[in-house]
Amino acid sequence: MKFSLTFFLSSLLLFIASCASVPNQNEDNLNINLAVKTSKKNKELIIESLFESNLKFTVNFDELGSYELSNNLINSKMKYFCNSLLQDERNLIESSIFKSNKSKNVLIIYSSQYAYYVKNLKEKYPDQLFLSVDNTNFEDMIKKILNVISSLNKFDLVSKVDRSIKIEHDPRVRQDISKIYFITNYELGKTLVPTVRSYSLNIDLYSTSEIFFDASDLKKLADFEDAFIPVSNKYINKINTNDTSNIKMKIDKILIEDFLTIENVYQNNLFKYSYQLNTGNGRIKRNNCVERNLYLWKVSTNNIISQT
């Protein structure tokens, strides 16, 4: 169900739905009074989510001094949360690949649009390997840093000795890299990750969920087979909805729903109840920011198919 803001002619709107869905509460007493400044896209998502929540609510998008909700939800520290979702994902990946990686190197492969974040990584982890790539050079650059070119050249020399002999050869990659962290968008990542995997099955691959934001549906995640991504099962299930929205729009809706869930807890004093957020298992405590407890999900063709 989609709603257009052109139907809302005043700044203060009152919508009443039939019932509330929170257990053991008086349904007639549950309501949300929301005042927020945000983009048209977010306004529509807020109204859509409020209708689906089956709560009584009022919402005002023009009140002076009201909370400002960034249009870029994934990368903003939304009200009540300790960090943005993207920062929580990055924190988990960094703790998983750098702090536990004592004897071998981590290779960070990134595109130029993430240079600022990578600059911070270089300052924190100066001894690791960093590779900047784009759509025109990534394959040659990967071959070079993984020492695949050297292995292929040796194979070429051996094969020239007697071309009548058929020789099968799997390029040997360098052995001092145990993990690769991809920091790219979907357009580059969908070819970059399979290319790296084709050269080595023994290196663990990592990325935030940002790498598949622009994918049209969940099945496209098959491009990231065996990569570790910090998402929850509920997060993936919510993405797998039968509508025409791309994954990025679905994630924005997921984040709006989490924001409204916490707002409902605060406004109706529901702290004694347990709530499972879409983006991670975080305890909602009065006067405490919400920390998302994320874990790493290993992408596989089988579990993608089981979700679709």
User: To the nearest whole percent, how much of the chain has pLDDT over 90?
Assistant: 48
Beta strands in 38-176 (DSSP E): 56-60, 67-68, 105-110, 129-132
Query: Using 50, 70 and 90 to split pLDDT, how confident is the model at 24?
Result: very low
Answer yes or no: do 221 and 264 share one domain: no
Residue 238 in any domain: the answer is: no
Torsion, Cα of 167, 170, 171, 176 (10° steps): -140
pLDDT for the residue numbered 260: 95
pLDDT digit string, tens, across residues 222-254 = 899 889 999 877 888 888 766 667 889 999 999
What pLDDT does residue 303 have? 62
Tell me the three state secondary structure of residue 31: strand
Residues 18 and 115 in one domain: no
Average pLDDT for residues 290-295, to the nearest whole number? 90
- Whether 90 and 68 map to the same domain: the answer is no
Give domain status of residue 79, yes or no: no
pLDDT score recorded for residue 217: 84
Q: How many domains, in total, are found in the chain?
A: 2
pLDDT of residue 1: 46
Predicted confidence at residue 151, as pLDDT, reads: 44
- The closest alpha carbon to 276, from 266, 290, 286, belongs to 290
**257/112 same-domain check:** no
For residues 170 and 191, membership in a common domain is answered with yes
Instruction: Identify the pLDDT of residue 173.
Output: 63
Quote the tokens at residue 268.
């109706």
Average the pLDDT over 275-300 and give the result: 88
Asked if residue 110 and residue 212 are part of one domain, the reply reads: yes
Q: Which of 11-15, 159-163, 239-243, 281-285 has the lowest mean pLDDT?
A: 11-15
- CATH of residue 105: 3.40.50
pLDDT tens-place string over residues 157-193: 334 444 554 444 345 567 888 899 999 999 999 999 9
- Same domain (yes/no): 97, 116: yes
Q: Is 19 part of a structural domain of the chain?
A: yes
Tokens, residue 57: 């609510």
pLDDT at 216: 85
What integer best gives the mean pLDDT of the chain? 81
Residues 94 and 118 in one domain: yes
Q: 51 and 140, same structural domain? A: no
258 and 199 fall within a common domain: no
Instruction: List the domain range (segments joined by +) for residue 281.
Output: 5-72+247-289
For residues 59 and 136, membership in a common domain is answered with: no
